[in-house]
Amino acid sequence: MWHELLAVFFLGGFFGLDTTAAWQVLFSHPLFACVLVGLLFGQPQLGLFFGIIFELIWLYDIPVGGSKFPEGNLSTFIGLMIVLSLPSVSGDSQPWLILVSSIYVLIIAYFLGVTISWMRKMNRHLVEKADRFAEEGNEKKIERMHLLSVFNAYLHGAFWAVIFYLTGLFLTEKVLHYLPNKAPFTMDQLQTVFLATGLVVMFDLFFSRKNIVYFFLGLICGIGLGIIL
């Protein structure tokens, strides 16, 4: 339990930081973060499953600038940690665990999006202070405000990851207690449904683009050149 809790705190902070404040090199995205966590806990297949499915589901929501968005990166990581923390739930009951934790991921993503707005408001006060220090020519205090804002973003990810992880762990165990021991569907069936959902999001995003005609034009030209050459 303590190993999982420490992992949630430290990794939650880093993933949250990459999403909102620093680096933004995409290692917080489910496809990378979940595979990494799965490898760390000896469940690479489960990590890859979560990574692929939720990477597709969250394609619509890109954290650009000050946009408001559901925090899918952090919520997916939390959901995976909940599953990894309940190894006793296996066999015929495992599909229930995956389904319940996945629904929880989708719900808390929107709550985490609200907490990001709170974090930005706190950082705005630090920016205002940094502006005053800039007028005074105090470089050290400007740097201090910058570091404080980065630390605030890290603490935001770590704190809320722990809160929603513990809450989710409690709720998931309670919900599973009232569900039948054997799920009426298999893991393969559940994976197929989730994958289909993710593909629907991807196709909708792709075909709704205004410049899609250029894609098909390039595709036709490429096929034509391939036939000629």
Q: How far apart are CA 77 and CA 79, in angstroms?
A: 5
CB 46 within 8 A of CB 20: no
Locate 179 and state its tokens: 């569900």
At 131, the pLDDT band (50, 70, 90 cuts) reads: confident
Give the confidence band of 64 by pLDDT, cuts at 50, 70, 90.
low
pLDDT for the residue 186: 82
Average pLDDT for 129-137: 74
Can you give the pLDDT at residue 212? 65
Question: What residues contact 109, with CB distance under 8 A and at least 6 apart?
Answer: 58, 70, 71, 72, 74, 75, 76
Please report, rounded to a whole number, the percentage of residues in the chain having pLDDT higher than 70: 84
The model's pTM? 0.81
Going from N- to C-terminal start, the domains of the chain cover 2-228
Q: Lowest mean pLDDT: which of 122-126, 144-148, 206-210?
A: 206-210
Rounded Cα distance between 102 and 194, Å, is: 10
Output the pLDDT for position 133: 74
Q: For residue range 8-29, what is the model confidence (pLDDT) as tens digits?
A: 999 988 888 877 766 666 777 8
Q: 165-200 pLDDT, tens per residue? A: 999 999 999 998 888 888 888 888 888 888 887 777
- pLDDT of 204 above 60: yes
- CA-to-CA separations, 122 to 14, 107, 114, 142, in angstroms, rounded: 19, 24, 13, 16
| Long-range CB contacts (within 8 A, 24+) of 128-135 | none
